[in-house]
Amino acid sequence: NMGGLAVDGPLAGSQLEQVPAYNSMWFAWHTYWPQTTIWNGEGIIDEPPPITAILEPTAGSVPADLILDQNYPNPFNPSTRIRFDLPVEGEIHLAIYNTMGQRIRRLADGFHQAGVYELTWNGRDDAGRAVASGAYVYRLEAVEQGWVTSRRLVLAR
């Protein structure tokens, strides 16, 4: 588990209050997920950014296959993490779709080096609006290779 401190107010002349910020999911991904925890005087607000980490490939760490892992947590609220392994460089598209096939959110688009990528979806569409509870599909396409894979996730508000 990780711990941390939060700052309540501007740094100059403000009071500091320790707020534990724990992450017990590091073992599921074989890395850790730092998150920002903010205390607003009434409660803890925790809103990770759309992309929490991109892992640069190191010697011998380029994946052998295109893999789209199951998001975690699932069901989720307010955000979920999506990890994928890209064995070769190239153009990719990763997006969230509703059950009618309409794209809700584009998470990754464009050229990517081979490697392991981890993204966070915060349950919002491309315009920043919160989407409704329900089932969604996330789809990864490696354009040049013609590879497509998808998985299902559930948002529970």
Residue range 77-86: mean pLDDT, rounded: 95
Which secondary-structure segment (H or E) carries 153?
Answer: strand 147-155
Q: In angstroms, how far is CA 105 from the centroid of its own chain?
A: 12
The verdict on domain 53-155 having CATH code 2.60.40.1930 is yes
Q: Which residue has the higher pLDDT, 111 or 55?
A: 111
Angle at 117 between CA 136 and CA 20, to 5 degrees: 85
Would you list the domain boundaries of the chain? 1-46, 53-155
Q: Write down the mean pLDDT value for the chain.
A: 75
Q: Name the 3-class secondary structure at 100.
A: coil
* Rounded CA separation 138/97 (Å): 6
Q: Which residues of 77-106 are buried (b: 16+ CB within 10 A; e: fewer)?
A: eebbbbbbbbbeebebbbbbeeeeeeebbe
Residue range 103-126: mean pLDDT, rounded: 95
Confidence of residue 139 (pLDDT cuts 50, 70, 90): very high
Note the pTM of the prediction, 2 decimals.
Answer: 0.63
